[in-house]
Amino acid sequence: MSSQQTPRTSGEPPQKPPAGDGDGLRAGLKNRHLSMIAIGGVIGAGLFVGSKAGIADAGPGILLSYALAGLLVVLVMRMLGEMAAADPASGSFSTYADRALGRWAGFTIGWLYWFFWSVVLAVEATAAADILEGWIPSVPQWGWALLVMLVLTGTNLISVGSYGEFEFWFAGIKVVAIIAFIAVGLIAFVGLPPADGAAGLENLTGQGGFLPNGPGAILSGMLLVVFSFMGSEIVTLAAAESPNPVTAVRKAVNSVIWRIGLFYLGSMFVIVSLLPWDSEAIATDGPYVAVLDALDIPYAGTVMDVVVLTAVLSCLNSGLYTASRMAFSLGERGDAPASFGRTNQRGVPTAAILASVAFGFVAVFFNYIAKDTVFEFLLNSSGAVALFVWLVICASQLRMRHRIEREAPERLTVRMWLYPYLTWATIGLIVFVIGYMFTDDDGRTQMVLSLAVAAVVLVTSLVKDRVQRGQAAAREPLGGAEPDQAPVTSPADAG
């Protein structure tokens, strides 16, 4: 019996079952693991690498792009935190969608999310291999990609604690690097060495002004940065494997505002205030290396390569964990092969991990032999999944809130602000961003392909449900069929 199968109608939060052979996921993550997973979850390689494109598009106005995307994430995380604190589950938002909206919703968003992170495995493995090949060119890039995939697969197969330990140190390096970068940048900003008088607010208003490409660039920049925030929700999946999931979720949700404010807005402010947004150094070396070079920090490129490599490995590690736990949840609910929903004696969902990494290996293979066709399709068709996930979280929270208030209001230890008005406003903002993507060439391609893949998964869900209903009806004795429209009260019941 897994944690998801605990009845939800009592007044007490669901408790972990006693650990045993194949008993389900175990509480192997410590509080320090969860704290660092929550903090490091918002610091991805996209912050260090992808921010260059956002700055080029929006100029200093990238601060507003990050603020708008950050606000969206804060609101969505508040809604997800409300549901996760009331009932921690390994499938997180997919499980809640199953309960609130129906089997079709949990199935569709769960598989899309798994697909997204499985593609991310290939992206991050290739990025890590590119850095490592630059250091040791005698090993081919595909060899490095294979090596990092095998190592992190091994750590995830050992135990959830080994994943947590690796992520603790990966995230720790990222956090220390970002804080040091901001501290050095702020010292330079106030005119202390080694600023050389180059820093100042004039970089925010010069070179065409704060919005050199017009107000519309704020939204264009938002499209480039919004997916950098994908990963904030990982802590709500990981909390299900901790001794005190309710407390862990509550802390993570309450801290998301300062995490986004410090790491994203703080570092972006340092960059666009210390250097002109259109400087050649940002375009060629990337914003972080450009700033460190301008401040005469020795070995700036090497330092940032180490930090980016750490961020990439962290993302790969978390991506494999996240994909496997979503596959595990789908398997538990009968929406994936039953083997996905089983664990070994150490509480590790082996089949779910191997299936996820297998798809990642296939994607890596296509990245080398068909980068401009198959792999590009994989990237674009998963590009809008973040927005789909956030939209489903909002819709689920609208319905789950009523159910929780009716059945166990004492579990509402985290509450969405100004419910339901702010929930509806968030839905409106997400729909607006989706609509705006159709006005952008790259965004339109991602949205069309992502919608096409989502449609295929949805149709698969509906066909599967109809087949299962037909099989169930065929097994019923003549005249003894029971109504099949009764509300599903848990994923276990639904499976």
Quote the pLDDT of residue 28. 82
Number of folded domains that form the chain: 1
Range scoring the smallest mean pLDDT among 282-296, 429-443, 467-481: 467-481
* Position 77 in a domain: no
The C-alpha atoms of residue 163 and residue 2 are separated, in whole angstroms, by 20
Q: What string of DSSP letters covers 380-430?
A: HHTTTHHHHHHHHHHHHHHHHHHHHHHH-GGG-SS--TTTTHHHHHHHHHH
- 439's CB contacts (< 8 A; 6+ apart) are none
Quote the pLDDT of residue 198. 52
Residue pLDDT, tens place only, 61-98:
999 999 999 999 999 999 999 999 998 888 889 999 99
Quote the pLDDT of residue 478. 54
Confidence at 477, pLDDT banded by 50, 70, 90: low
Range scoring the smallest mean pLDDT among 106-115, 187-196, 305-314: 187-196
The C-alpha atoms of residue 313 and residue 173 are separated, in whole angstroms, by 11
* Position 474 in a domain: no
* Position 216 in a domain: yes
385, 116 contact by CB (below 8 A): yes
Range of the domain at 245: 24-70+104-370
User: Tokens 């290396």, residue?
Assistant: 289
Residue pLDDT, tens place only, 140-189:
988 999 999 999 999 999 988 888 899 899 888 988 999 999 999 888 88
Quote the pLDDT of residue 479. 52
User: What tokens were used for 161?
Assistant: 């604690």
- 435's CB contacts (< 8 A; 6+ apart) are none
Mean pLDDT of the chain: 85
Confidence at 13, pLDDT banded by 50, 70, 90: very low
Residue pLDDT, tens place only, 210-250:
999 888 888 888 887 887 788 888 888 888 888 888 888 88
Q: Is the pLDDT assigned to residue 19 strictly greater than 80?
A: no
The C-alpha atoms of residue 35 and residue 30 are separated, in whole angstroms, by 9
Quote the pLDDT of residue 114. 94
| Percentage above 70 pLDDT, the chain | 89
Tell me the CB-side half-sphere exposure of residue 355, using CA atoms within 13 A. Answer: 23
426, 473 contact by CB (below 8 A): no
Residue pLDDT, tens place only, 104-152:
999 999 999 999 999 988 888 988 999 999 899 999 988 999 999 999 9
* Position 236 in a domain: yes
Mean pLDDT of 294-323: 89
Mean pLDDT of 417-439: 93
* Position 227 in a domain: yes
CATH of the domain at 261: 1.20.1740.10
Q: Between 8 and 456, where is the model more confident? A: 456
User: What tokens were used for 21?
Assistant: 């052979």
Quote the pLDDT of residue 490. 41
The C-alpha atoms of residue 259 and residue 267 are separated, in whole angstroms, by 11
User: What tokens were used for 287?
Assistant: 């914003």
Q: Is the pLDDT assigned to residue 101 strictly greater than 90?
A: yes
- Closest by CA position to 491, among listed 95, 111, 104, 108: 95
Q: CA quadruple 198, 202, 207, 212: dihedral positive or negative?
A: positive
Q: 3-state DSSP call for residue 295?
A: coil
No. of H helices and E strands in the chain?
22, 0
* Position 376 in a domain: no
Cβ neighbourhood burial of 200 (10 Å; 0-12, 13-18, 19+): middle
* Position 93 in a domain: no
Quote the pLDDT of residue 418. 95
- Closest by CA position to 219, among listed 62, 421, 401, 32: 62
